[in-house]
């Protein structure tokens, strides 16, 4: 019987399986959420909006996506779960109708120097197989083309049991890897300036070492002074050749120092392992400053920065080596792969072609596969993670995106919107946390959280269509159609910063004069060379050009759950001193990480119970009741408050508290005023940094940098994570910085910031090798009138010109 004529006796009503078309959340209380209950339609595009800190990420990532991942992990055996991250169940009463969640967030990719765009996306793995099959001359397996695998060979005797007898046989092995032996696959070599490591006129006992963390009396110091290889009382310049070699280059050896087993190795080897093996961007500021002083990084002369051995570079397909392929712009590499017609590797070529085409489609065709993953911006990293999902055959999956338009020019946002709609149209549920009105406008369903941030947020203010949001009267609805006007009059520059012959990355011998004393906005499509121009030619410039430049970038704030806005901003030091002075005791008592810590929870405020492969349990400490300090410390008061009550205050309350009266502390008040200026008045001083949203972290970083004595401020997309209403406040802050005599240079895509600028430098016209040129310099009004560039067209449409 054909399918058309077959009847089902139970087909009169809807099938029970079709009734599960909602994700239901009831009683969500994660972070600042206040018993949120909500129903989200499946197989639709839902956008979550609200001011920064209103609870969007808490609802989408920490509740819905976290529970979905936890439930999936629970389907594996206990043995497998032991190797997976353990996730606790979110604080929520009911979570119904969940589907498998795929999270595409803005977490920066690994900052290891050996991690590249190619290794992060499988493109390199496919290229290695391709060259191992088609490359001439043939040099070995795919390992021979990997810069992460060193060539190794060895020989020796092995003992076997055979026929009841013990037999010894000689065996040898060899692995051909593609790693350059000189730079060990990093592409750069480092030379260390020994004068920055120690003062050779002093002995170790006199404190000769000048390396951070090698203080006299510390373990790092005692390792050398008590090793027995050198005389600790003899000046380093008087060491014999053997002593100097043992001091600087001795191979690792186990020894006992003060009764403790330690590994001794030469100082240069130790510095290379502990500091130089890390990516510069991932270092703490004081370590980075030392490395910049002590180490010169140069392109490896043996592999010319390709990271690959001579053998790997000698094998070619149509005169192209794997090093040449990885250095190509991905859009060009896609064309080259398309031209290869080899039936023997057809499935591989098809898969590689799809991956490379996905890069181009998503707007990352300007990258190359050998680009270090640590140098990608947050938006680029997020889009690289999207690539593996674009060609996926999965349906009925929940895709969760965190501001996918970050780092995108208005021209590229249209392309991103099309991709989100394509994922939805395949039958997937797409959840997007977003601030840009262009993306909110394409939503099938909008959830607006607020009304404020922090403790003032955490409730659902609106749920419904985009038109309903416009008319809804919430902060998002009121600001949805806001358009900043182009400035009538612009400030006059007080001088210029000359950049001449800039050639970093894709820049084409660029000459430009950057005006000082005004608000300068650098624009252009993603990959046009904005960061290369500002960071390469200004921030990292040697001599006076790079001096006095304060950079506020999108790098993550590093801090544990013990870190909070008070410790990060330096606010806690004056507060501790004020408490100590008022009570005649030591400042260390007022630190939850030092002498004042509750002995039961060590100042964490919670006690963790590790349950192996199950999620650990954190319970509030019974001794201090979560206050983190021991009882005797809480008896000391300042202005009628103890230290735990002060840390529970919001920034706005604390600003008032330390501004006048008995607790008046000018140093603390100054820091608090800066935090309030960047719109963080609602944050509590003791809130763990791990609970802050992306926008809050960047503004905290900005407030901290405002204390630095710099003449030029460089801000890298400061509107990241900011609500439409917060952008107005940011513009006011930028104006105050300029009016106080600073020069502010902003790399930005947001049209409101462009319209507010005094001077615009537009790069383009395209991305990668189609960019790298200055296509416009002038005022925003001139850019709108000209409409000669992509930025000009979009800005003109934005301001309604």
Q: Which residues pair with 260 in a beta bridge?
A: 257
pLDDT digits (tens, 9 = 90+) for 642-677: 999 999 998 989 999 998 888 899 999 999 998 988
Torsion of CA 88, 58, 692, 552, to 10 degrees: 120
Token representation of residue 685: 């001083």
Q: What angle do CA 693, 695, 697 make, to 5 degrees?
A: 70
For the chain, percent of residues with pLDDT exceeding 70: 94
Q: What angle do CA 510, 515, 519 make, to 5 degrees?
A: 115
Ramachandran angles phi, psi of 362, nearest 5° = -85, 0
Closest CA to 366 of 318, 411, 333, 415: 333
pLDDT digits (tens, 9 = 90+) for 211-221: 887 877 777 77
Stretch 762-774: mean pLDDT: 87
In whole angstroms, give the CA distance from residue 736 to residue 99.
48
Taking CA atoms, 129 is separated from 29, 187, 331, 348, 369, in Å, by 49, 22, 20, 8, 15
Torsion of CA 61, 63, 66, 70, to 10 degrees: -170
For the chain, percent of residues with pLDDT exceeding 90: 35
Per-residue model confidence (pLDDT) at position 52: 83
pTM of the entire predicted model: 0.79
Tell which wins on pLDDT, 279 or 84. Answer: 84
Stretch 119-146: mean pLDDT: 92
Q: Which helix H or strand E contains 289, and what residues bound it?
A: helix 285-294
Q: At what angle do helices 572-583 and 666-677 cross, to 10 degrees?
A: 150
Q: Which of 179-188, 275-284, 408-417, 567-576 has the lowest mean pLDDT?
A: 275-284
Per-residue model confidence (pLDDT) at position 460: 94
Taking CA atoms, 716 is separated from 226, 551, 596, 692, 709, in Å, by 47, 8, 39, 19, 19
Instruction: Report DSSP letters for 680-708, one per residue.
Output: -TTSBTT--GGGS-HHHHHHHHHHHHTTS
pLDDT digits (tens, 9 = 90+) for 347-358: 999 999 999 998
Per-residue model confidence (pLDDT) at position 282: 63
β-strands 188-192, 295-299: how paired? antiparallel
Stretch 769-782: mean pLDDT: 91
CA dihedral sign of residues 48, 52, 54, 60: positive
Q: Please provide the average confidence, as pLDDT, over all residues in the chain.
A: 86
pLDDT digits (tens, 9 = 90+) for 531-577: 888 887 776 554 444 457 888 876 667 667 788 898 888 899 999 99
Residue 588 has pLDDT above 80, yes or no: yes
């Amino acid at each position: 019987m054909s399918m058309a004529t077959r009847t089902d006796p139970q087909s009169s009503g809807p099938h029970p399986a079709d009734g599960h078309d909602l994700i239901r959340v009831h009683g969500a209380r994660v972070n600042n959420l206040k018993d949120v209950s909500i129903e989200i339609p499946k197989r639709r595009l839902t956008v979550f909006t609200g001011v920064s800190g209103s609870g969007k990420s808490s609802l989408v990532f920490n509740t819905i996506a976290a529970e979905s991942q936890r439930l999936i992990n629970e389907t594996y055996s206990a043995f497998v779960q032991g190797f997976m991250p353990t996730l606790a169940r979110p604080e929520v009463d009911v979570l119904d109708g969940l589907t498998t969640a795929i999270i595409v967030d803005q977490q920066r990719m690994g900052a290891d120097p050996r991690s590249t765009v190619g290794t992060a996306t499988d493109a390199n793995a496919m290229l290695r197989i391709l060259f191992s099959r088609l490359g001439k001359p043939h040099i070995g397996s795919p390992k021979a083309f990997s810069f992460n695998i060193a060539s190794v060979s060895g020989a020796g005797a092995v003992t076997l049991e055979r026929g009841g007898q013990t037999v010894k046989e000689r065996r040898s092995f060899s692995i051909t890897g593609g790693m350059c032996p000189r730079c060990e696959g990093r592409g750069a070599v480092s030379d260390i300036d020994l004068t920055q490591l120690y003062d050779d006129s002093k002995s170790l006992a006199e404190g000769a070492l000048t390396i951070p963390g090698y203080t006299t009396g510390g373990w790092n110091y005692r390792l050398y002074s008590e090793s027995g290889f050198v005389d600790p009382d003899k000046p380093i310049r008087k060491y014999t050749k053997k002593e100097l070699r043992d001091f600087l280059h001795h191979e690792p050896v186990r020894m006992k120092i003060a009764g403790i087993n330690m590994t001794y190795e030469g100082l240069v080897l130790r510095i290379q392992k502990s500091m130089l093996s890390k990516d510069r961007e991932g270092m703490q500021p004081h370590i980075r400053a030392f490395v910049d002083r002590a180490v010169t990084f140069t392109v490896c002369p043996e592999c010319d920065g390709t990271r690959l051995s001579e053998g790997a570079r000698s094998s070619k397909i149509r005169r192209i080596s794997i090093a040449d392929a990885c250095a190509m712009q991905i859009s060009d590499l896609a064309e080259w792969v398309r031209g290869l017609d080899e039936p023997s590797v057809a499935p591989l070529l098809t898969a590689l072609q799809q991956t490379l085409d996905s890069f181009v489609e998503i707007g990352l065709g300007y990258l190359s596969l050998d680009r270090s993953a640590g140098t990608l911006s947050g938006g680029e990293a997020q889009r690289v993670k999207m690539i593996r999902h674009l060609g996926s055959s999965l349906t009925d999956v929940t895709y969760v995106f965190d501001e996918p338009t970050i780092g995108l020019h208005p021209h590229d946002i249209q392309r991103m919107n099309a991709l989100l709609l394509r994922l939805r149209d395949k039958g997937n549920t797409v959840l997007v946390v977003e601030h840009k009105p262009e993306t909110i406008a394409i939503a099938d369903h909008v959830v607006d959280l607020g009304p404020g941030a922090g403790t003032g947020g955490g409730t659902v203010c609106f749920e419904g269509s985009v038109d309903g949001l416009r008319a809804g009267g919430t902060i998002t609805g009121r600001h949805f159609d806001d358009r900043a006007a182009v400035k009538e009059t612009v400030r006059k520059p007080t001088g210029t910063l000359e950049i001449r012959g800039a050639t970093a990355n894709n820049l084409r011998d660029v000459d430009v004069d950057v005006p000082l004393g005004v608000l300068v906005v650098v624009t252009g499509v993603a990959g046009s060379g904005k960061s290369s121009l500002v960071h390469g030619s200004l921030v990292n410039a040697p001599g006076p050009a790079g001096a006095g430049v304060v950079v506020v970038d999108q790098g993550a704030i590093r801090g544990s759950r013990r870190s909070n806005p008070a410790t990060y901003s330096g606010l806690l030091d004056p507060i501790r001193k004020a408490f100590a002075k008022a009570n005649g005791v030591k400042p260390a008592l007022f630190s939850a990480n030092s002498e004042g810590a509750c002995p039961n929870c060590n100042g964490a405020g919670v006690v963790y119970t590790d349950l192996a492969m199950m999620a650990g349990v954190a319970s509030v400490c019974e001794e201090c009741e979560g206050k983190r300090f021991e009882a005797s410390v809480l008896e000391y008061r300042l202005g009628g408050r103890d230290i735990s009550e002060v840390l529970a205050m919001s920034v706005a309350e604390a600003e008032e508290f330390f501004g006048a009266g008995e607790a008046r502390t000018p140093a603390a008040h100054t820091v608090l005023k800066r935090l309030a200026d960047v719109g963080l008045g609602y944050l509590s001083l003791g809130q763990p940094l791990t609970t802050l949203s992306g926008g809050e972290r960047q503004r905290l970083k900005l407030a901290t940098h405002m204390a630095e004595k710099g003449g030029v401020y460089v801000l890298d997309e400061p509107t990241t994570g900011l609500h439409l209403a917060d952008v107005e406040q940011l513009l006011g802050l930028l104006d105050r910085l300029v009016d106080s005599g600073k020069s502010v240079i902003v790399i930005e895509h947001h049209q409101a910031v462009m319209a507010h600028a005094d001077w615009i430098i537009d790069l383009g016209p395209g991305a990668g090798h189609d960019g790298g040129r200055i296509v416009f310099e002038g005022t925003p009004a001139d850019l709108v009138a000209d409409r000669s560039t992509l930025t000009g067209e979009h800005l003109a449409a934005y301001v309604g010109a």
